[in-house]
Chains A and B, each alone.
Chain A
Amino acid sequence: MVDLFRLFKKAVIANKQGLEPVGTTKPDEEVLENLHAKTGLKNERAKPEIKNKRVQNFFSAPREQPKPESRQAAGSPRRFSLPSFNGPSLPKIPAGTGVYIGLIILSIIGLILKGYVAYHPGGSLFISLILGFFFFIAIHYTPEAKFKETMVFLTFALDTFTQFVLGLFPESELKNWLITYYVFAWIILAVILFLMGVFDTMGAGEHLGKAGWFVTALLIGFVLFLLFPILVTGPVAKQDETHAEYYHIAKTQIVKVADTLEETKNVWYDYFGCTFDVLGGSYKYDSCIDDKRIVRYCKNNFASTTEQQDCIRQQQEILKSGGKAGVAGSVSEAIKKVTKIELKEDQFFPKKATEPRTVYPIPLKVENPREQIFTAKVSCEFKKGKEVVAGEVSIGGQVVNEVHINSRQQQFLIGCQPSSDLNGRYTLDYSVILSGMQTFSFLKRAFISKEISSELRAQVESDNFKVSKDKVSQGPAEFALLNFKFGTGVGTEPLILVEEPTTFSFAVEDVGSGAFKGEVLKVNSYNFHGLWERGFSIDSERIGDQDCLQGGEIRLLAAQTKKREPSELKRCFLTLPPDLGQLQKNEYKVETFVADLNYDYKLTKSISIEVTPLEAQVVCGNGVVEAYEQCDDGNQINTDICTNVCKLVQCGDGFVNPDTEQCDDGNVINGDGCSSACRLEAIA
Chain B
Amino acid sequence: MRKIILLLVLVSFFIVSCGETPESGKEINYKQGFLDITIAPEGNKEEYQEQPLELPISVHNTLAYDIEDVSVAIKGFDNHFVEMFTEQQQLSILEGKSIFNHEGMKESFLFEGLIKSLLPGAEKEQEDYRVHVYYISKVEFSPSICVTPQQSGYVGAAYDTYQGACTFQKEISYSGQGAPLGITGLEIIPRQGKQVELRMKLENKGKGKVGKVTLVSAAIGGKPLTCEFRGDTVENSFLFEAEEKSVTLICAGYLGSDDAYTTPLFVELLYDYEINQKEMLMILE
Residue numbers of A with Cβ under 8 A of B are: 332, 334-338, 369-370, 440, 442, 444, 453-455, 459-460, 463-464, 476, 530, 534, 588-594
* Inter-chain contacts of A591 with B (CB < 8 A): 78-80
Q: Tell me which residues across on chain B come within 8 A of A588, comparing CB atoms.
A: 75-76
Best-buried of A334, A336, A369, A444 by chain B (most CB within 10 Å)? A334
- How many whole Å from A7's CB to the nearest CB in chain B? 75
Bound complex: CA A460 to CA B76 (Å) = 8
Given contacts A453-B242, A463-B128, A463-B130, contact A592 B121 (CB under 8 A): no
Assembled-state Cα–Cα distance A460/B119 (Å): 22
Q: A464-B128, A593-B80 are in contact. Are A335 and B243 (CB under 8 A)?
A: no
- B130: A residues at CB distance < 8 A: 459, 463
**Contact A335–B128 (Cβ < 8 Å):** no
Contact A336 B120 (CB under 8 A): no
Which residues of B are in contact with A by a Cβ distance under 8 Å?
A: 75-81, 119-125, 128, 130, 242-243, 276, 278
> Which of B77, B119, B122 has most A Cβ within 10 Å?
B119
A336 pairs with B123, CB closer than 8 A: yes
Give complex CA distance A453, B120 in Å: 35
Most buried by B among A338, A454, A460, A592: A592
Q: Which of chain A's residues have a CB closer than 8 A to the CB of B81?
A: 592
Task: Select A440's contact among B78, B120, B278, beta carbons within 8 Å.
Answer: B120
Q: B242 near A454 (CB under 8 angstroms)?
A: yes
Contact A463 B76 (CB under 8 A): yes
User: Which chain A residue has the least Cβ–Cβ distance from B241?
Assistant: A453
16 sampled A-B residue pairs with Cβ under 8 A: A334-B122, A334-B125, A337-B120, A369-B121, A453-B242, A455-B242, A459-B276, A460-B76, A463-B278, A464-B128, A476-B121, A588-B75, A589-B79, A590-B76, A590-B78, A591-B79
Distance between Cα atoms of A335 and B118 in the complex (Å): 10
Report how far A451 CA is from B172 CA in the complex, Å.
Answer: 40
Known interface pairs A463-B76, A464-B78, A589-B79; A594-B119 also in contact (CB < 8 Å): yes
Residue in contact with B80 in the complex, picked from A335, A337, A594, CB distance below 8 Å: A594
Q: State the majority secondary structure of interface residues on A.
A: mixed
Which 5 pairs between the two chains have the least Cβ-Cβ distance?
A337-B121, A592-B80, A335-B121, A463-B128, A590-B78
CB neighbours (8 Å) of B243 from chain A are 455
Given the contacts A335-B119, A370-B120, A370-B121, A464 and B76 also touching, CB distance less than 8 Å: yes
Residues of A within 8 A of B128 (CB): 463-464
Give min CB distance, B208 to chain A, whole Å. 12
Q: How far is the CA of A593 from the CA of B78 in the complex (A)?
A: 10
Residues of B within 8 A of A590 (CB): 76-79
* A335 x B122 contact (CB < 8 A): yes
Write the nearest CB–CB distance from B110 to chain A, whole angstroms.
Answer: 22
Given contacts A334-B123, A464-B128, A594-B119, 9 further A-B contacts (CB under 8 A): A332-B122, A334-B119, A442-B80, A444-B78, A463-B130, A530-B80, A590-B79, A592-B119, A594-B80
Task: Tell me the nearest residue of chain A to B78, going by C-beta.
Answer: A590
With A and B bound together, what is the CA distance between A647 and B79 in angstroms?
87
Q: What CA separation (Å) do A589 and B76 show in the bound complex?
A: 6
Question: Once bound together, how far apart are the Cα atoms of A662 and B278, in whole Å?
Answer: 113
B119: chain A residues within 8 A (beta carbon): 332, 334-335, 440, 442, 592, 594
A455 cross-chain contacts in B, Cβ below 8 A: 242-243
Q: How many Å lie between the Cα of A534 and that of B79 in the bound state?
A: 10
Q: In the complex the two chains form, is A338's CB within 8 Å of B79's CB?
A: no
B81 nearest in chain A by CB position: A592
Cα distance A211–B243 in the bound complex, in angstroms: 68
CA distance A594 to B123 in the complex (A): 17
Q: How far is the CA of A455 from the CA of B244 in the complex (A)?
A: 12
Give Cα distance in the complex from A334 to B125, angstroms: 8
CB-defined contacts of B120 to chain A, threshold 8 Å: 335, 337, 370, 440
Q: Which residues of B lie under 8 Å from residue A463 when comparing CB positions?
A: 76, 128, 130, 278
Q: How far is the CB of A438 from chain B (nearest CB, A)?
A: 10
State the CA gap A84–B278 with chains docked (Å).
Answer: 97
The residue in chain B whose Cβ has the minimal distance to the Cβ of A440 is B120
Taking CB atoms, residues of chain B closer than 8 Å to A338 are 121
- In angstroms, Cα B211 to Cα A453, docked, is 13
Closest partner residue, chain B, to A579 (CB atom): B79
Contacts of B78 in A (CB 8 A): 444, 464, 590-592
- Residues of B within 8 Å of A464, CB to CB, are 76, 78, 128
Give the CA-CA distance A243 to B276 in the complex, in Å: 54
Residues of A within 8 A of B77 (CB): 590
By a CB distance below 8 angstroms, the chain A residues around B76 are 460, 463-464, 588, 590
| Closest chain A residue to B209, Cβ basis | A455
Q: In the complex, what's the smallest C-beta–C-beta distance from B94 to chain A, in angstroms?
A: 24
Please give the distance in Å from B285's CB to the nearest CB on chain A. 9
Please, how many angstroms separate the alpha-carbon atoms of A525 and B121 in the complex? 21
Q: Which residues of chain A are within 8 angstroms of B125 by Cβ–Cβ distance?
A: 334
Among B78, B128, B243, B276, residue most surrounded by chain A Cβ atoms (within 10 Å):
B78
Question: In the complex, what distance in Å separates the CA atom of A337 from the CA atom of B76?
Answer: 27
Considering the complex, give the chain A residue whose CB is closest to the CB of B122.
Answer: A334
CA–CA, A530 and B278, complex, Å: 27
Closest to A445 in B: B78
Is there contact, CB below 8 Å, between A336 and B122? yes
Q: How far is the CB of A399 from chain B (nearest CB, A)?
A: 36
Residues of A within 8 A of B124 (CB): 334
Q: Which residues of B contact A337 (CB under 8 A)?
A: 120-122
The CA-CA distance from A209 to B183 in the complex, in Å, is 87
CA distance A336 to B125 in the complex (A): 12
**Which residues on the B side are within 8 Å of A440 (C-beta)?**
119-120
Give A466's nearest chain B residue, CB to CB. Answer: B128
A463 to B128, CA, bound (A): 6
Nearest residue, chain B, Cβ from A464: B128
A594 to B80, CA, bound (A): 9
| Interfacial chain B residues near A442, Cβ < 8 Å | 80, 119
Chain A: which residue is nearest B119 at the CB level?
A442
Q: Name the B residues within 8 Å of A454 (CB-CB).
A: 242
Q: How far is the CB of B153 from chain A (nearest CB, A)?
A: 47
Complex Cα distance, B121 from A370, in Å, reads 7
What residue in chain A is nearest B274 (Cβ atoms)? A586
CA distance A459 to B275 in the complex (A): 13
Docked pose: A454 CA to B120 CA in angstroms: 35
A454 to B243, CA, bound (A): 10
CB distance from A306 to the nearest CB of B (A): 31
Q: Contact partner of B121 among A336, A453, A534, A589, CB < 8 A?
A: A336
Compute how far the CA of A202 lies from the CA of B1 in the bound complex, rounded to whole angstroms.
151
A590 to B128, CA, bound (A): 11
Q: B75 contacts which chain A residues (CB < 8 A)?
A: 588
Please, which residues of chain B bring their CB within 8 A of the CB of A334? 119, 122-125
Q: Please, which residues of chain A bring their CB within 8 A of the CB of B121?
A: 335-338, 369-370, 476
In Å, the complex CA distance between A444 and B242 comes to: 27
Query: How far apart are the CA atoms of A588 and B119 in the complex, in Å?
Result: 23
**How far apart are the CA atoms of A440 and B121 in the complex, in Å?**
10
Q: Smallest distance from the beta carbon of A560 to chain B beta carbons, Å?
A: 26
Distance (whole angstroms) from the CB of B9 to the closest CB of chain A: 65
Q: Which residues of B contact A589 (CB under 8 A)?
A: 79
Most buried by B among A442, A459, A463, A464: A463
| Cα distance A455–B121 in the bound complex, in angstroms | 35
Residue ID in chain B nearest A442 by CB atoms = B119
B225 to chain A, nearest CB (A): 33
What is the minimal beta-carbon distance from B125 to any residue of chain A, in angstroms?
7
Cα distance, A44 to B78, chains bound together (Å) = 95
A440 to B119 alpha-carbon distance, docked (Å): 9
Separation in Å of the A336 CB from the closest CB of chain B?
5
Q: How far is the CA of A464 from the CA of B280 in the complex (A)?
A: 11
The docked-state distance in angstroms from the alpha carbon of A337 to that of B124 is: 12
> Inside 8 A of B242's CB, which chain A residues have their CB?
453-455
A536 to B121, CA, bound (A): 26
Contacts of B122 in A (CB 8 A): 332, 334-337
Kindly state the separation between the CA atoms of A433 and B270 in the bound complex, as whole angstroms: 72
